């Protein structure tokens, strides 16, 4: 059985996918400007944003129990924290490209931070 996805979830999935792509594109720039630490943060941010999008899509595509929805919401919250940390570090570099990526990560972090299990269940 397929459930109807909320607008917030759809927007969050889209932004997480955009974040994943942007982080992948910026990895080399991070290494050049911010060094290995920022590069690893960007890799982690890319992975977590992709994982969040994947989990939300899976949860919306099937009838999952509340516990699974809670895990998905927790993943979104963890990804939000990582995106915020990475955005702050990118902004500190003073690099225009990384500042632009930081803005996008901050927007994604804000939206991911609002996803709740109940929000995912509301259309079940």
Please report the pLDDT score of residue 49 as a whole number. Answer: 96
Residue 56 tokens, joined: 């939300």
Residue 19 burial (C-beta neighbours within 10 Å; 0-12, 13-18, 19+) = buried
* Contacts made by residues 91-100, CB under 8 angstroms, sequence distance 24+: 93/33, 93/34, 93/38, 95/29, 95/33, 97/26, 97/29, 98/26, 98/29, 98/30, 98/33, 98/34
From first to last of its 124 residues, what are the pLDDT tens digits of the chain? Answer: 455 677 888 899 999 999 999 999 999 999 899 899 999 999 999 999 999 999 888 876 665 677 888 888 899 999 999 999 999 999 999 999 999 999 999 999 999 998 877 676 655 4
Prediction pTM value:
0.87
């Amino acid at each position: 059985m397929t459930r109807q996805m909320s607008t917030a979830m759809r927007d969050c999935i889209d932004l997480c996918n955009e974040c994943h792509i942007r982080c992948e594109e910026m990895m080399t720039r991070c290494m050049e400007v911010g060094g290995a630490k920022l590069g690893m943060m960007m890799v982690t941010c890319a992975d977590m944003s992709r994982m969040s999008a994947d989990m939300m899509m899976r949860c919306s595509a099937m009838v999952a129990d509340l516990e699974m929805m809670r895990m998905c919401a927790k993943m979104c919250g963890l990804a939000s924290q990582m995106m915020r940390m990475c955005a702050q570090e990118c902004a500190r570099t003073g690099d225009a490209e990384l500042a632009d990526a930081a803005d996008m990560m901050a927007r994604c972090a804000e939206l991911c931070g609002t996803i709740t299990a109940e929000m995912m269940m509301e259309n079940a």
